[in-house]
Amino acid sequence: MDFKIFLNKRIFTVSDDMERCFTSVNGMGTRLNKPEDVNGMFDFFEQSSVLEFYVYSESPDSVFNSLKDANRFICAAGGAVFNSCSDILLIRRLGYWDLPKGKMEENETEMSAACREIEEECGISGIEITGKIMDTYHVYRDRDNNRIIKQTAWFSALYSGQQLLKPQLEEDITEAIWAPQDGIAQYIPEMYASLKDVMDRLQMCRRADMPTEEYANAPTVKRENGKIQSLITSLEDIRHAAQTVCKCLGNTKIIALYGKMGAGKTTLIKALCYEMGVEDSVTSPTFSIVNEYKASANKTVYHFDFYRINSIAEAYDLGYEEYFYSGDLCFIEWPEMIEEILPENTLRIYIKVLDDDRREITFFY
């Protein structure tokens, strides 16, 4: 796994990929044995002219947490919003094209902060979050020259209203426009470096969501705006949805399922496990937190339910890293309880209850 931290156009990366760390042509790499030494390395990077600085560690999480502990760390959230024409919402702020975003308030979730910031900065209401894209990190100095690390959680969202865009001038936003996705390339050179990763991820998801020949005609599946949706009205629909998810997994090993109590998270996991060749009885591990199943080719599948944990510390006590970074598939119910420790490439599945017999399933990287 990687943590990419942007300092203007330069990048400080903490990674457990040794080959990547020591084969960069744009910078330099080093191995870190003690996580607490990372702050000194960042001091060196900040004062140097190195474009890309790679730090290899077997535990990138620990290294990144040490960097957070040694500096001021703040959280923000924002979104890539699409309208009914699949245009994307862009804002112009301080001479850069940007996506709406802002700092999270106390006791605010990432998703609610993203909605609030989008609506405040663009003068619209009725945003519907459809999935999480990724987290980005960048560093800057405050007026007292203290180093600030800012994490921004990025979400995809839909807007189906007709309100005119109204840029929030007091936040230095001078324009807000709907830009056609096919023409987005013209705006990217005038975006922040960290935002280009978000746009690349959106384009990657669009490519991944192109229908395969096998499922192109499946009546329950539709693909648009960088997401896949299935309408579930029967057991056959559940099977199609599970097959579609499996087709889009790629190298992703963490699948988080969101939905209210009784939405059908466990039912979908059962269908997914069936597609993976699991013959064990699949039940929700409400009290044990994690179940282990054997799949085809002697592979292991882990099934988590974090509904009853009281704090994220219980996930650490469980040793979540041993599961999440094992290379085995992990299905997670109630991921809201551990959102901040979910790996960046988590596939998120949202189950919406339409009525007693119908569910809408949306998934997004």
200 and 311 fall within a common domain: no
Predicted pLDDT of residue 33: 80
Per-residue pLDDT of the chain (365 residues), as tens digits, is 678 899 988 999 988 777 666 666 567 888 888 888 898 999 999 999 888 888 888 888 888 889 989 999 999 999 999 998 889 999 999 999 999 999 998 888 888 899 999 999 999 998 888 777 888 999 999 889 899 999 999 988 889 899 999 999 999 999 999 999 888 889 988 998 889 888 877 765 554 443 333 333 343 445 554 556 667 767 777 888 888 888 777 778 999 999 888 888 999 999 999 888 898 889 888 888 999 999 988 889 999 999 989 888 999 999 999 999 998 999 999 998 998 899 888 888 888 888 877 888 887 65
Residue 339 Cα distances to 222, 312, 334, angstroms: 27, 9, 9
Whether residues 241 and 286 fall in one domain = yes
Q: Last residue of some domain: 207, 230, 254?
A: 207
- What pLDDT, on a 0 to 100 scale, did the predictor assign at position 132? 79
How many Cα atoms within 13 Å fall on the side-chain side of residue 173?
A: 22
Is 275 in the same domain as 310?
Answer: yes
User: How confident is the model at residue 219, as a pLDDT?
Assistant: 38
Strands 227-232 and 358-364: antiparallel
Range of the domain at 233: 211-364
Of 189, 207, 225, at which residue does a domain stop?
Answer: 207
Do 119 and 229 share a structural domain? Answer: no
What spatial distance separates the first Cα and last Cα of the chain, rounded to whole Å? 15
Query: Are 78 and 171 in the same domain?
Result: yes
| pLDDT value of residue 150 | 94
117 & 232 share domain: no
Where does a domain end: 30, 55, 70?
70
**Length in residues, the chain:** 365
Angle formed by the axes of helices 265-275 and 235-248, nearest 10°: 60
Look at residue 89 in the predicted model and tell me its pLDDT: 96
Task: Quote the CA–CA distance of 304 and 330 in Å, as a whole number.
Answer: 7
Residues 157 and 216 reside in one and the same domain: no
* pTM for the predicted model, two decimal places: 0.59
How many structural domains are present in the chain?
A: 3
Q: Are residues 65 and 85 in the same domain?
A: no
Residues 12-37: b if buried by 16+ CB within 10 A, e if exposed: bbbbbeeeebeebeebebeebeebee
SS3 label, residue 41? helix
Task: Examine the domain organization and report whether 121 and 256 are in the same domain.
Answer: no
Which residues touch 2 (CB under 8 Å, ≥6 apart)?
A: 13, 14, 15, 17, 60, 344
Task: Tell me the CATH number at 311.
Answer: 3.40.50.300
User: Of the candidates 94, 115, 219, 203, which has an alpha carbon nearest to the alpha carbon of residue 157?
Assistant: 115
321 touches 312 (CB < 8 A): no
Quote the CA–CA distance of 121 and 104 in Å, as a whole number. 14
Q: What is the CATH number of the domain that holds 129?
A: 3.90.79.10
Select from 222, 249, 191 the least CA-distant residue to 360. Answer: 222
Same domain, 175 and 267: no
- Same domain, yes or no: 62 and 92: no
96 shares a domain with 41: no
| pLDDT for 5 | 92
Which of the 8 DSSP states describes residue 106?
A: T
115, 129 Cβ separation under 8 angstroms: yes
